[in-house]
Structure 1
Amino acid sequence: MLHLTECPRDAMQGWPTFIPTADKISYLNALLRVGFDTLDFGSFVSPKAIPQLADTTEVLAGLDVSQSKTQLLAIVANLRGAETAAQHPQIRFIGFPLSVSETFQQRNTNKSIVQALDDVARMQELCARTGQEQVVYLSMGFGNPYGDAWGPAVLGEFTQKLDVLGVGIVALSDTIGASTPATIAPAFRELTAAYPHIRFGAHLHTTPTTWREKIQAAYDAGCHHFDGALGGYGGCPMAADELTGNMPTERLLDFAAEVGAAPELNREALKEAMAWNQRIFAGH
Structure 2
Amino acid sequence: MIKLIECPRDAMQGISGFIDTAIKAAYINQLLEVGFHTVDFGSFVSPKAVPQMRDTAEVLELLDLHDAKSKLLAIVANVRGAEDALHFPEIDYLGFPLSVSETFQQRNTHASIQDALETVETIQNLCETKGKKQVVYLSMGFGNPYGDPYSPELVAEFVEKLAELEIETISLSDTIGVASPELITQLFEVQSQAFPQIEFGAHLHSRPEGISEKVLAALKGGCQRFDGALNGYGGCPMAKDELVGNLATEVLIEALEGEGYDLNLEKTELAEAMKLTGFVFNP
Q: Give the TM-score normalised by structure 2.
A: 0.97
Q: Which runs of 4+ in 1 moved over 6 A?
A: none
Does residue 30 of structure 1 match 2:48? no
Structure 1: runs of 5 or more not aligned: none
Structure 2: runs of 5 or more not aligned: none
Does residue 87 of structure 1 match 2:87? yes
2:6 is matched with which residue?
Answer: 6
**Greater RCO, 1 or 2 (C-alpha within 8 Å, sep 6+):** 1
1:20 is matched with which residue?
Answer: 20
Structure 1 residues 241 and 216, CA, compared in 2 at 3 Å: closer, same or farther?
Answer: closer
Provide the C-alpha distance between the structure 2 equivalents of 1:26 and 1:168, rounded to a whole number of angstroms. Answer: 31
Letter in 2 for 1:225: R
CA contact (8 A) 1:151 1:187 kept: no
Listed one character per residue, the Cα deviations across residues 262-284 of structure 1 (whole Å, up to 9, x for unaligned) are 31011111111111112112x34
2:193 is matched with which residue?
Answer: 193
- The alignment's C-alpha RMSD in Å is 1.1
Q: What's the secondary structure of 1:91's corresponding residue?
A: coil
CA contact (8 A) 1:151 1:183 kept: no
Structure 1 residues 20 and 242, CA, compared in 2 at 3 Å: closer, same or farther?
Answer: farther
Residue pairs, 1:52-131, within 5 angstroms: 52-131=52-131
Letter in 2 for 1:82: A
Q: Give the TM-score normalised by structure 1.
A: 0.97
Listed one character per residue, the Cα deviations across residues 23-47 of structure 1 (whole Å, up to 9, x for unaligned) are 0000000000111000000000000
Provide the C-alpha distance between the structure 2 equivalents of 1:82 and 1:230, rounded to a whole number of angstroms. Answer: 27
Letter in 1 for 2:278: Q
Letter in 2 for 1:160: E
Provide the C-alpha distance between the structure 2 equivalents of 1:137 and 1:248, rounded to a whole number of angstroms. Answer: 19
1:134 is matched with which residue?
Answer: 134
Deviation at 1:241, TM superposition (A): 7.1
CA contact (8 A) 1:253 1:262 kept: no
Mean Cα displacement is larger for which, 54-63 or 242-251? Answer: 242-251
Letter in 1 for 2:181: P
CA contact (8 A) 2:38 2:72 kept: yes
Letter in 2 for 1:195: F
CA contact (8 A) 1:5 1:40 kept: yes
Provide the C-alpha distance between the structure 2 equivalents of 1:258 and 1:37, rounded to a whole number of angstroms. Answer: 19
Q: What's the secondary structure of 1:209's corresponding residue?
A: helix
1:146 is matched with which residue?
Answer: 146
Provide the C-alpha distance between the structure 2 equivalents of 1:178 and 1:241, rounded to a whole number of angstroms. Answer: 10
Identity across the alignment (%) = 54
